[in-house]
């Protein structure tokens, strides 16, 4: 049994990942600004914008569940406005949650993974987004951080490989979550998604969680530095 830590655990994708890793038999710490109702996990209310809070969450996870062996960097904020109207403070906030927190969490997790008494090794999964391929309008800050998540994945996979720490990325498509409320016409948005996908249905959060389960499990023991697209065939890279 391994200790897993999931950020952004209270959202639809995060909850599905927490449920799946718990079902896989892992001890799970679930981090979010409002980490409630996450059955079977250790809820830790954590503002990822605060490095001290992140460090405290990792310390508490180790004290209560054991050293982290799996990290899923899933948290994200998703403000939408035209690029020319984005204030620098908003960009900094998006970067703090979607990228700086990924960096810090990966660093803290890798430190615990490389000092485990049972030996080296672990798995990190960063969550990117289909938007990094299309350059979507009104989401420049979000898109930039998601592209960075994929690039960070490759850099960390290279550097942490000698420690037997595998680092991979999942890039979800347009899953039906609360994030879609930024689109003013839900029906038109739904039609747009289906027109672009090869599979003519909306994805389920559990389907993304299944890929995370694979990447953090023994069947992916020789997989690192990869970005797996989970988008129903929208993007075929």
Is residue 83 a contact partner of residue 16, using CB atoms and an 8 Å limit?
no
Per the annotation, the verdict on 189 as an active-site residue is no
38 exposure class (CB count in 10 Å sphere: 0-12, 13-18, 19+): buried
What is the DSSP code (8-state) at residue 185? -
Quote the DSSP letter at residue 184: S
Provide DSSP, 56-105: HHHHHHHHHH-SEEEEEE---------GGG--HHHHHHHHIIIIIHHHHH
Cα(123)–Cα(141) distance, rounded to whole angstroms?
Answer: 27
N residues, the chain = 237
Q: Which is the catalytic residue, given 78, 91, 102, 142?
A: 142
HSE-CB of 108 using CA atoms within 13 angstroms: 25
Collect all residues with Cβ–Cβ distance below 8 Å to 201 and sequence separation of at least 6.
Answer: 194, 232
What gap in Å lies between CA 67 and CA 193, rounded to an integer? Answer: 40
Closest C-alpha among 226, 217, 36, 25 to residue 123: 217
Q: Catalytic site residues?
A: 142
């Amino acid at each position: 049994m391994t200790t897993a830590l999931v950020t952004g655990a209270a959202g639809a994708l995060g909850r599905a990942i927490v449920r799946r890793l718990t079902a896989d038999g892992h001890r799970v710490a679930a981090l979010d600004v409002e980490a409630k109702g996450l059955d079977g996990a250790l809820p830790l209310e954590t503002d990822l914008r605060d490095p001290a809070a992140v460090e405290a969450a990792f310390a508490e996870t180790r004290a209560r569940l054991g050293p982290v062996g799996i990290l899923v960097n899933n948290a994200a904020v998703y403000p939408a406005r035209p690029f020319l109207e984005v204030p620098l403070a908003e960009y900094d906030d998006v970067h703090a949650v979607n990228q700086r927190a990924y960096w810090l969490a990966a660093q803290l997790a890798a430190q615990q993974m490389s000092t485990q008494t049972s030996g080296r090794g672990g798995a990190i999964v960063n969550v990117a987004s289909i938007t990094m391929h299309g350059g979507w309008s009104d989401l420049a800050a979000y898109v930039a951080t998601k592209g960075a998540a994929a690039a960070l994945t490759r850099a960390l996979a290279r550097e942490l490989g000698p420690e037997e720490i595998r680092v991979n990325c999942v890039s979800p498509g347009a899953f039906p979550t609360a994030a879609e409320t930024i689109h003013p016409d839900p029906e038109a948005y739904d039609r747009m998604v289906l027109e672009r996908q090869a599979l003519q249905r909306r994805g389920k959060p559990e389907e993304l969680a299944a890929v995370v389960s694979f990447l953090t499990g023994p069947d992916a023991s020789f997989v690192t530095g990869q970005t797996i697209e989970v988008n129903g065939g929208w993007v075929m890279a």
